[in-house]
Amino acid sequence: MGAALPETAPSRLFLSGNEAVALAVRDAGCRVAAAYPGTPSTEILEEVARFPELYTEWSVNEKVSLEVALGASMVGARAFCAMKHVGLNVAADALMTMTVTGTEGALVIAVADDVGMSSSQNEQDSRFWARFAHLPLFEPADAQESYDMTRAAFTVSERFRCPVILRLTTRICHVKGRVLPGARETHEPAGFVKDPRRWVMVPGHAKPRVALMYEREDALRAAAAESPLNFVVPGSDRRIGFVTSGPAYMHVRETYPDAPVFKLGLSYPLPLERVREFAAGVDQILVVEETEALVETELRAAGIACAGKDVLPRVGELSPDRLRPAVARLRGETLPAEASPSRLVPQQVFPRPPTMCVACPHLGIYYTLAQLRNLTISGDIGCYTLGAGEPWNALDSCISMGASMGVALGMDKGRGQADAKKAVIAVIGDSTFMHMGMQGLLDITWNRGNVTVLLLDNRAVGMTGGQDNPGTGRDIHGESAQRVDFAKLCEALGVKKERIHVLDPYQLPVLFKTLREETRIPEPSVIITDRPCVLIDDYKATQPYKVIADQCTGCANCLDVGCPAIHVTRRGTEVKPSGKEVELAFVRIETSACTGCGLCVQPCAPEAIVHALPEHPVKFLHAKI
Amino acid sequence: MTITNIAVCGIGGQGVMTATEILAEAALSLGFDVKKTEVAGMSQRGGVVTSHLRFGPQVLSPQIMAGEADLLVGFEAAEALRWAHMLKPGGIALVNQGRFVPPVVTIGLYDYPDDPIAEMRKLGLAVFDFDASALAMQLGNIRLGNTVMLGAMSERLPFPADVLRKAVLERFGTRKPALLELNRQAFELGRAAVAEGSLVTV
């Protein structure tokens, strides 16, 4: 068992939910922590990696990270892994069997739901997984609870010998609050005990363990019913009693300070009898949960009448503003048209969608793809998904990690006359390729697919802040590691050597020519581009450019590159000899932002773009999330 | 004592989150309960960033609702207009006149407002505006813009400007000693700009 280390007087820290989880992982004596980056969970492992006491790794995908954690648990170590909501879909295969084997060393899985979809392809409620896998579920409501519940999750995992799910949301991960940490523990792994009936899940071994899993769930239900993490906040206004969990708890307390609240912390298995008692003391129950009607449905099934998603929104984050109309409706009140009569209406301002960075190597790729005709472009998850937007409109699908490969093959095999003349392209980044794309490429080569793959190697997991992967030559600590050779890897996966090209995405004519040639050859081919992400240290800025105003003819070719450093100074129209009216846009380059990639120079017809004076210092305008 | 709500907005890369963090440290140093939240989305890619800071005896929900901000700090003029409805009646806006024109405007899909700050005044808001980007460039680095904005905020807080100045200098003094003096100057430029600025309301 754990031994408490001497602790100097703890003081309050100011931490995000992610930082609080990371500190708790260290303080719980965890030995192995693994993750694949994904918003909003990324910072958890970045923070854990700062503690030298643990082994930490970026895994190639979430399934591997969970398996690494399970292996550590098998030898008796405390283990942890973190992922975003869609990551648990990937890891689910492992999860659904490790709930049958159970664990030895405590194993905690932090899964962060991107409620509100700030940076995700869908919205999912990970609380379902606890039900599906019959595992305990913790739902912190702020940073302090993130710390406390992570600690509690390790204890519960050890007691019940099963993985524990810690469900976070964006509004937990990225909210900072004061945190008082607890005492540190240490745990020495007891060692692996050979036990095929426990760890080798063949049918004969699994059958008795599935029965044990249900017994464990019953024991967990009894424990959750007693848990101090499920508690009642008394209140004098008994018209509505709230049942709530996670960040929604804070919104309820903020908005209705006099109402009784049943706060769920260890929220699965649900403490139904305690909720029933609570319900008896109020006029009606409103379940406030993000995002699905889960607790609500289970309460109703247990015969506890309640309101929930019939009055509350089903999509996105809840907030005090979204609670008020629902509560007013339940109370039979009419809400004033405006909570505050002088409240301003939101002003209409242009949208400011995320854009690719100045000098991003993807700019050259999408500029070129937009110039080519008759393409169907199967995309993937990463910064390069932005190629679907203006001005390129050069990405036709984005589904899930690695899906560009299989989708492209299906488009090729399924097409009829309507698409006969189109070339099928798949666009995927280095990290996404290694996460889940390699198998898809193997499927393309094995089944003789006619797909041209663009493998954009920018030596980083770009979208989440430039983390390392097996293609960067560095590990999670930035230390030297083996580096994948993508050309060799693609060859090993069955792509002919002569169909593999490694080229510079800043060299537009080469890229254009190679793409045109490869799309005409009815075989799988891979074009690997090899410029680093501009936000990582590998990227070196060079001399910036400027526009000679007198020479700019307003042709606007450079704007098709989509670089944020190019700005329009004035617009105009020109009537061609044919009588056709052409829109003109005269430009300037923001020299302080330009890093000299030279992409805009190449399409500039009048050669009006030249190197700026050397005395202009180059300054970056960028920051990490 | 009630809760103070400060909404800070801008675009990715301007230091909105760092500035709010320093403001949080100042409030923490006085013993307040503090919560800070972001809606950052894909801010690293030049998207919209808003940071909410709430402090008081006890803070529950981290989010500021529309019409409840005591102070709106706009690091970019059009972003300040976008979030103007966050201000409560009688609230104050501190706005950088500097503009960051996004590619969707450059390629002609949308228009940048002619005068976002004038539009805010038309809404009846008390707006202090000044060119924080130019002041930062005066010191040689656009990245000092967030310290200029912090200097501007320092006179509009429910605690003395010195508390915030100390938090700024502690942050940059320990992490980047070379930048200490520059940040001190940036802070003072921001303070002075707002002191000289004329408050115009309709």
What sign results for the dihedral spanned by CA atoms A560, A565, A571, A574?
Answer: negative
Give the helix, strand, coil percentages of chain A, each rounded to 5: 35, 20, 45
In this predicted structure, what is the pLDDT of residue A615?
47
A621·B13 Cβ contact <8 A = yes
Question: Minimal Cα distance from A355: which residue of B?
Answer: B45
Query: For residue A175, which residues of chain B lie inside 8 Å, CB to CB?
Result: 35-37, 62
Report cis status (omega within 30 of 0) of the bond before A391. Answer: yes
Find, in chain B, the residue whose alpha carbon is nearest to that of A567: B106
**Which pLDDT band holds residue B1 (cuts at 50, 70, 90)?**
low
Q: Which residues of A touch B21 (CB under 8 A)?
A: 176
pTM, two decimal places? 0.94
DSSP state of A555: B
CB contact under 8 A, A320 and B24: no
Binary contact (B119, A463; C-beta < 8 A): no
- Tell me how many helices (H) and strands (E) chain A has: 19, 24
**Interchain proximity A351–B104, CB inside 8 Å:** yes
Residues A85 and A114 sit within 8 Å (Cβ to Cβ): yes
**Which of B106, B119, B123, B133 has the most A C-beta neighbours within 10 Å, making it the best mutation to test the interface with A?**
B106
Give the distance from residue B32's alpha carbon to the nearest chain A alpha carbon, in angstroms: 10
Residues of A with Cβ-Cβ distance to B102 under 8 angstroms:
350, 352-353, 355, 564
Token representation of residue B94 = 């501190």
Which member of B41, B59, B113 has the closest CB to residue A354? B41
Residues A505 and A531: beta-carbon distance below 8 Å:
yes
Residues of B in contact with A624 (CB under 8 A): 44
Burial environment of residue A324 by CB neighbours within 10 A (0 to 12, 13 to 18, 19 or more): middle
Q: How far is B19 from chain A (nearest CA, A)?
A: 13
Residue A365's pLDDT is: 97
CB contact under 8 A, B37 and A567: no
3-state secondary structure of A407: helix
Sign, CA torsion A222/A226/A229/A233: positive
Q: Which chain B residue has its CA at the smallest distance from A618's CA?
A: B141
Residue numbers in chain A where pLDDT is lower than 50: 1-9, 615-625
Annotate B157-168 with b (16+ C-beta within 10 A) or e (fewer): beeebeebbebb
Q: Which chain B residues are Cβ-neighbours of A349 within 8 angstroms?
A: 78-79, 81-82, 113, 116
Per-residue pLDDT tens over the stretch A191-235: 999 999 999 999 999 999 999 999 999 999 999 999 999 999 999
CA A381 distance to own-chain centroid? 10
Among B40, B82, B111, whose Cβ lies nearest the Cβ of A625? B40
φ, ψ at A253 (rounded to 5°):
-65, -40
Q: Which residues of B touch A390 (CB under 8 A)?
A: 103-104, 107, 109
CB within 8 Å: A118 and B106:
no
- B108 contacts on A by Cβ (under 8 Å): 568, 571, 583, 585
Closest CA of chain B from A223, distance in Å: 28
Q: Which of B42, B52, B88 has the highest number of chain A CBs within 10 A, making it the mutation to test binding with A?
A: B42
Question: Measured between alpha carbons, how far is A184 from A29 in angstroms, rounded to an integer?
Answer: 7
Question: Measured between CA atoms, how close is A507 to chain B, in angstroms?
Answer: 22
Instruction: Note the pLDDT of residue A605.
Output: 87
Q: Do the interacting molecules here have an ipTM over 0.85?
A: yes
* B35-to-A107, A171, B31, B160 alpha-carbon distances in Å: 30, 11, 13, 20
Contact B87 A585 (CB under 8 A): no
Which residue in A176, A358, A559, A584 has the most chain B C-beta atoms within 10 A of its own C-beta, making it the best mutation to test that interface?
A176
Of B33, B38, B101, the CB nearest to A567: B101
- When CB atoms are compared, the residue of B11, B44, B82 closest to A349 is B82
Distance of residue A271 Cα from the nearest chain B Cα, in angstroms:
24
Contact between B47 and A592 using a beta-carbon 8 Å cutoff:
no
**Which of A180, A347, A381 best tests the B interface by mutation, with the highest count of B CBs <10 A?**
A347
**Nearest chain B CA: its distance from A311 CA (Å):** 20
Q: How many CB atoms lie within 10 A of CB A446?
A: 12
Angle at A77 between CA A72 and CA A81, to 5 degrees: 55
Picking from B47, B82, B123, the nearest residue to A354 by CB comes out as B47
Cis peptide before A320 (omega within 30 of 0): no
CA distance A522 to A375: 14
Cα separation, A89 vs A113, whole angstroms: 12
Q: Which residue has the higher pLDDT, B195 or A347?
A: A347
Buried b (16+ CB within 10 A) or exposed e, B90-102: ebbbbbbbbbbbb
Angle at CA of residue A103, ends A97 and A107, nearest 5°: 100
Rounded Cα–Cα distance for residues A624 and B4 (Å): 28
- Integer distance in angstroms from the first to the last C-alpha of chain B? 31
Task: Calculate how close chain A gets to B85, using CA atoms only, in Å.
Answer: 5
**Separation CA A343–CA A363 (nearest Å):** 42
Do residues A383 and A427 make contact, with C-beta atoms less than 8 angstroms apart?
no
Chain A: closest CA distance from residue B90 (Å): 10
| Lowest model confidence (mean pLDDT) among A31-40, B7-16, B36-45, B131-140 | B36-45
The reply to whether residue B41 touches residue A118, judged by beta carbons under 8 angstroms, is yes
For residues A354 and B104, give the distance between their C-alpha atoms in angstroms, rounded to a whole number: 10
The pLDDT score that the predictor gives to residue A431 is 97
Res A3: pLDDT? 42
- Residue A625 has a pLDDT of 24
Q: Are B189 and B138 in contact (CB under 8 A)?
A: yes
Q: Rounded to whole angstroms, how far apart are CA atoms A13 and A23? A: 11
Task: Select from B24, B41, B119 the Cβ nearest to the Cβ of A347.
Answer: B119
Environment class of B177 (CB within 10 Å of its CB; exposed 0-12, middle 13-18, buried 19+): exposed
CA dihedral sign of residues A94, A100, A101, A102: positive
Residues of A with Cβ-Cβ distance to B62 under 8 angstroms = 142, 171, 175, 177, 247, 250
Name the closest residue on chain B to residue A621, using Cα atoms. Answer: B13
B45 to A383: CB separation less than 8 angstroms, yes or no? yes
pLDDT of residue B196: 60
Chain B residue closest in CA terms to A556 = B107
Rg (CA), chain A: 28
Best of A115, A173, A340, A349 to substitute, by most chain B Cβ atoms within 10 angstroms, is A349
Residue A352 to residue B123, Cβ atoms within 8 A: no
Unique residue bearing structure tokens 């000098």: A359
B111: which chain A residues are within 8 Å (Cβ-Cβ)? 350
Instruction: Indicate yes or no: CB of B103 within 8 angstroms of CB of A355.
Output: yes
Cα–Cα distance measured from residue B181 to residue A581, given in angstroms and rounded to the nearest whole number: 55
Q: Is the CB of residue A613 less than 8 Å from the CB of residue A594?
A: no
Judged by CB atoms closer than 8 Å, whether chains meet at A463 and B42 is answered as: yes
- Identity of the residue in B106, B110, B119 whose CB atom sits nearest the CB atom of A559: B106
Please tell me the distance from the alpha carbon of residue A585 to that of residue A576, in angstroms, as a whole number: 15
Amino acid at A294: L
pLDDT at A194: 97
Q: How far apart are CA A96 and CA A206, in angstroms?
A: 12
Q: Which residue has the higher pLDDT, A441 or B43?
A: A441
In eight-state DSSP terms, residue A480 is B
Å between B151 CA and nearest CA of chain A = 21
How far apart are the CA of A173 and the nearest CA of chain B, in angstroms? 9
Q: How far is the C-alpha of A290 from the C-alpha of A432, rounded, in Å?
A: 29
For chains A and B, what is the number of CB pairs under 8 angstroms?
181
Between B104 and A335, whose confidence is greater? B104
Tokens of B6: 């400060």
C-alpha angle A362/A368/A372, rounded to 5°?
Answer: 140
**Contact call for residues B84 and B120 (beta carbons, < 8 A):** yes
